[in-house]
């Protein structure tokens, strides 16, 4: 009886910890990403671009995958972050980390100030509201050409060496390493936030807002909070884009950005943080392969694939990743166990 009483709590804490532990696949992915920096030097530019898309999609995963907020307006935060970082670089300093912070704060501010628009209405309303907000920001940037350079894009953006040491070169060496580092930090932060009571309350809202409010969760303030965090992530993605390209244009605020983000996340799957990474990788690879095969029609194939992915189910990728990691974890645990047994036997 005594042992039963003490083992039950351990089981509970263990189960909660297991759910948030680093998976084998996850670690493998990071090893491969770092290895790519050493072994694929001629691909650094495209890899940096993939990471940028991954962060944009990650920002969307935070709000869609974890809090159930559908959005077609992530470009508003991405673009404002991009312009904020660009202006900061042109007028204050080209130091990249502070520029990233400025971009993140700008994205967060946009999300925080427009988040209340999401609180009324269902998915369709949210899609239209986010779409509308992004369109408004796009037009503001277009009209305010004294500030943004309008259709010509913002001139005079320069990125100083990272930590004062690493120049941003034209081959994307620094850009890829920098982007990957930023993605890593953002994933670590997201993991911490999502494993917290706050993070779980978001999933409760996503799964059942009625019950969430009935267990005392203040639904609307929580939604605004995560929308703001998602905005910060999108702003950071935008800033990163500006810094690595050393240029900002209206493209950063375009509907295409929002659509790309959502498309990538859909391909990679929502709700396990790596949907953006997987989706961006697949998206870019497909784009690369298809645009070599049929330069004019690759969008057609992307569209077809997207339809297929959605029909197979948004849950599929996450389920697949979970199944494979469980299998791998067992494999490793099994090996470790047999090694222990072998060590104990002289």
Partner 1 sequence: MTALLETRHLNRMFGALQATTDVSFRLERGARHALIGPNGAGKTTFINLLTGVLSPTSGEILLDGKAITGMKREARVQRGLVRTFQINQLFGGLTVIESLALVVAERRGEGWNPFRSIGRARGIDTEIADLLRGFGLESVAGETCSDLPYGKQRLLEIALAIALKPRVLLLDEPAAGVPEADRQEVLSRLAALPSDVAILLIEHDMDLVFTFANRISVLVSGGLFAEGTVDEIAHDPRVKDVYLGGGQHG
Per CB under 8 A, 3 contacts partner 1: no
Report the number of secondary-structure helices (H) and strands (E) in the chain.
15, 0
Q: Does 11 bind partner 1 (CB under 8 A)?
A: yes
Told to check if 1 binds partner 1 by CB under 8 A, we report: no
Task: Look at residue 255 and give its three-state secondary structure.
Answer: helix
CB of 311: closest distance to partner 1 in angstroms? 21
Instruction: Single out the residue of 287, 276, 239 nearest to residue 64, CA to CA.
Output: 276
Taking the least distance from each CB to partner 1, the nearer of 189 and 289 is 189
Tell whether residue 200 is a contact of partner 1 (CB under 8 A).
yes
Using the rule CB under 8 A, is 124 a contact of partner 1?
Answer: no
DSSP state of 154: B
**CB proximity list for 94: less than 8 A, separation 6 or greater:** 157, 158, 159, 160
Which of residues 35, 41, 142, 211 is near partner 1 by CB under 8 A?
Answer: 211
User: Would you count residue 2 as binding partner 1 (CB under 8 A)?
Assistant: no
By CB under 8 A, is residue 123 in contact with partner 1?
no
- The C-alpha atoms of residue 68 and residue 162 are separated, in whole angstroms, by 36
Return d(Cα 276, Cα 74) in angstroms, integer: 14
Q: Which position among 1, 2, 3, 9 is part of the footprint of partner 1 (CB under 8 A)?
A: 9
Binding piece for partner 1, criterion CB under 8 A, among 82-90, 166-174, 212-220, 251-259 = 212-220
Q: Quick one: which H or E segment has residue 130?
A: helix 123-143
Residues forming beta bridges with residue 248, ordered by sequence position:
154
Please say whether the beta carbons of 67 and 226 come within 8 A. yes
Burial profile 247-277: b = 16 or more Cβ within 10 angstroms, e = fewer = bbbbebbbeebbebbbbbbbbbbbbbbbbbb
Asked whether position 155 contacts partner 1 by CB under 8 A, the answer is: no
Binding mask 257-296 for partner 1 (x = CB under 8 A): --------------x-------------------------
Of the two residues 1 and 165, which places its CB atom closer to partner 1 in the complex? 1
The reply to whether 193 sits near partner 1 by the rule CB under 8 A is yes
Least gap, CB of 20 to partner 1 (angstroms): 6
Give the residues lining the site for partner 1 (CB under 8 A).
8-13, 15-17, 19-20, 192-193, 195-201, 203-204, 206-208, 210-219, 222, 225, 271
């Amino acid at each position: 009886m005594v042992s039963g009483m003490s083992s039950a709590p351990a089981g509970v804490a263990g189960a909660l910890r297991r759910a948030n532990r680093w998976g084998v696949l996850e670690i493998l992915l990071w090893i491969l990403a770092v290895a790519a920096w050493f072994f694929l030097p001629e691909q650094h530019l495209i890899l940096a671009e993939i990471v940028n898309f991954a962060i944009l999609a990650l920002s969307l995963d935070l709000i869609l995958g974890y809090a159930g907020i559908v959005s077609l307006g992530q470009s508003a935060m991405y673009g404002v972050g991009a312009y904020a970082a660009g202006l900061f670089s042109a007028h204050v300093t080209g130091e990249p980390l502070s520029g990233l912070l400025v971009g993140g704060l700008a994205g967060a501010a946009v999300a925080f100030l427009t988040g209340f628009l999401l609180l009324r209405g269902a998915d369709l309303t949210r899609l239209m509201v986010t779409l509308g907000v992004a369109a408004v920001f796009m037009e503001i940037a277009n009209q305010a050409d004294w500030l943004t350079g309008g259709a010509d894009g913002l001139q005079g953006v320069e990125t100083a060496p990272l930590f004062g040491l690493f120049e941003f070169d034209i081959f994307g060496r620094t850009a890829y390493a920098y982007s990957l580092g930023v993605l890593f930090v953002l994933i670590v932060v997201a993991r911490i936030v999502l494993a917290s009571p706050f993070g779980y309350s978001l999933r409760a809202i996503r799964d059942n807002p009625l019950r969430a409010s009935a267990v005392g969760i203040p639904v609307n303030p929580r939604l605004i909070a995560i929308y703001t965090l998602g905005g910060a992530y999108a702003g950071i993605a935008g800033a990163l884009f500006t810094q690595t390209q050393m240029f900002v244009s209206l493209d950063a605020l375009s509907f295409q950005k929002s659509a790309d983000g959502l498309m990538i996340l859909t391909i990679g799957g929502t709700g396990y943080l790596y949907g953006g990474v997987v989706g961006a990788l697949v998206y870019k690879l497909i784009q690369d392969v298809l645009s070599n095969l049929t330069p004019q029609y690759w969008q057609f194939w992307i569209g077809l694939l997207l339809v297929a992915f959605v029909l197979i189910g948004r849950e599929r990728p996450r389920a697949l990743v979970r199944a494979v990691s469980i299998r791998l974890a067992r494999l490793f645990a099994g090996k470790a166990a047999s090694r222990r047994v072998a060590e104990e036997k002289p």
